[in-house]
Amino acid sequence: MVNVLVVDDSAFMRKMLSEMLEKDDNITVVDKARNGKDAIEKVKKHDPDVVTMDVEMPIMSGLEALKQIMSEHPKPVIMVSSVTKIGTETTIKAMEYGAFDFISKPSGSISLDIHKVEADIIEKVLHASTVSVKNLQNHSLLEKKTLPLRVIKQETNVTMRDNKHASRNGISKVVLIGTSTGGPKALQQVLPYLPENFPHPILIVQHMPKGFTKSLSERLNSLSQITVKEAENGEVLKKGVAYIAPGGYHLKVRTIGTSVAVQLDQSPLVNGHRPAVDVLFRSFDSVHIDQFISVILTGMGSDGTKGLVHLKKSKQVIAIAESKTSSVVFGMPRAAIETSLVDEVVNLKEVAATIVKYC
């Protein structure tokens, strides 16, 4: 049985979330809390397996409560956020501080249609109850950032070279990254460690709803030497730029003249997701690029596996997967590894250096 503490300043939301969760026979709501301070006390009292935490609350916010819980009594915490600028920015910070994942309220702080996310929140609570809490805790990224960047830059003189298979627009190779649960924090252990002279475009699918990927890309850009941005339809791929698929849109590529450009669309969900990693991988069929580095990081499910199999049949692909040791959820990396097509399985802290090695 998974014991859950539900935290929200709205009595209505506490009631609705509790009733939704307890529809699953494997979940029991052990208590409810009305603010962050109340949540901290009840975490100590009940020792729940999982906490759902509203982001914006009086007395003590969900973010402040999360920081204290992860420091004093670490638990898997799922943030429940509204799609406002403050809400999305705070949610991205919560991922840094160790939140397992988040749920987006469909229509504001008090969502009468909260039932729309019922299946999603139940699935995430069940997965959260199985994770290793040590993989959620903060690893002081900013304090460690400078040295790895210097080391990788020294390596680039040897490993980064022009490729004779360059496409007509000068793009010789593309890095493809797919991730889901745990991804925002994982990306902060990869992109900031790539050198500013990184010679290839990077296309990223992070499973995230509409409204959150903008804040994620801005945060990653502020931490990184390369440019990180939310992908825009029609923009031409450039070396040393990381493009993150906007929530709610599939990220694909297409040829425009002699260049390769971003194509965004809202075609049907794939693997229950839009954006989907498989869609990105398959979109390179008709593009004049034949060398890739694919990276599958932490996440639930198997998105990216079929795309990797497809890409490996016709392109030259070095496939990297995150190890079980460092993954918040080992679903996506494990599925990729089980194809026997993955070339390197590495801990998260080694992903950036491994990418550079194959550049």
DSSP string, 43-81: HHHH--SEEEEESS-SSS-HHHHHHHHHHHS---EEEEE
145 phi and psi angles, rounded to 5 deg: -70, -40
Query: Six-digit token pair at 294?
Result: 């694919």
Tell me which residue has tokens 């991988």.
281
Rg (CA), the chain: 20
Q: Considering the candidates 217, 303, 323, 327, report the single residue annotated as catalytic.
A: 303
3-state secondary structure of 346: strand
Q: Is 207 part of the annotated catalytic residue set?
A: yes
Are 285 and 309 in contact by the 8 Å Cβ rule? The answer is: no
Q: Give me 43's structure tokens.
A: 């975490």
Active site residue 303: yes
Q: DSSP labels for 247-293?
A: TTSEEEEEEETTEEEEEEE-PPPBTTBSS-HHHHHHTTTTSS--EEE
Chain centroid, CA 228 distance in Å: 14
Q: Please pick, among 127, 200, 207, 273, the residue that the annotation labels catalytic.
A: 207
Enumerate the active-site residues: 180, 207, 303
